[in-house]
Amino acid sequence: VLNSIYYLSHENILDLDLSAEAVSAPYEHIPGSGDPKRSQFLLVQYEKPELARQALNRFHDAYLPEYKKKIPADTAADNPRLFKLEDGWLAYKLIGKYIAIVFECPDLESARTILQKNESNLLGKGEDHET
């Protein structure tokens, strides 16, 4: 289903199964970027934090194989990881049992901001931030 919204891979590189839930949304006309291109935000909720961490590991291995992996067990207080790719900036963050990823950002700052805002919203809605 995700691939019909935003194609990532012919493999299930985010370990999505029936226990996972996800939302995806495009960001258009990002203020200050001067770039009309849209970015794509993806938030996936797994059953347990450990499953989210494993899925993020798999995603990193498949999608960012040339980058050294650094995904700690708990990233509650960690900064997102940011990568300059062919189609713009990609950022991801593990937030408890959630993975937040933003694709095709015009710059580093907008990638960081999109993740931060969504994380704030998520935590503000009472996410049981498991550690």
Partner 1 sequence: MKHKMPVLTRRDFIRGTIGVTLGAPVFGLLWPKGEARAEARSLVTVVRDKNAMDSAKNIDIAVLEKMLAETLTRVTGQKNTKDAWLSLVKPNDMIGLMPTDHLNPTHDEVVEVVKNSLVDAGIPEDRIRDAQGPRNAKKCDALIAIPGLKAHWLTGIGTVLKNYILYSGSPSSYHKSNSFKLGEIWNLPFVKGKTKLVLVDSLYPLCDKGPQPDPRYQWPYNGFIAGTDPVAVETVCLKVITEKRKAIRGELWPLSPPPICVEAADKLYGLGTSRMDQIKINHYSWEHELLL
| Residue 77 binds partner 1 (CB under 8 A) | no
Nearer to partner 1, 37 or 129 (CB): 37
Q: Measure the CA–CA gap between 118 and 41, rounded to whole angstroms.
A: 9
Quick one: tokens of 37? Answer: 């291109």
CB of 23 to partner 1, least distance (A): 16
> Pick from 87, 117, 120, 130: which binds partner 1 (CB under 8 A)?
87
Minimum CB separation of residue 58 from partner 1 in Å reads 8
Q: State both tokens at 92.
A: 């991801």
Residue 108 interacts with partner 1 (CB under 8 A): yes or no: no
Q: Identify which range of 7-15, 70-78, 107-115, 121-129 contacts partner 1 by CB under 8 A.
A: 7-15
122 Cβ contact partners less than 8 Å away, ≥ 6 residues apart: 43, 95, 98, 100
Tell me, what DSSP letter sits at residue 42? E
Q: Does 85 bind partner 1 (CB under 8 A)?
A: yes
User: Could you give the angle at the alpha carbon of 128 between the alpha carbons of 119 and 93, nearest 5°?
Assistant: 35
CA–CA separation, 13 vs 21, rounded Å? Answer: 15
For the segment 37-66, give every residue that binds partner 1 (CB under 8 A): 58, 62-63
Task: Give the binding site for partner 1 (CB under 8 A).
Answer: 1, 3-11, 13, 26, 58, 62-63, 85-87
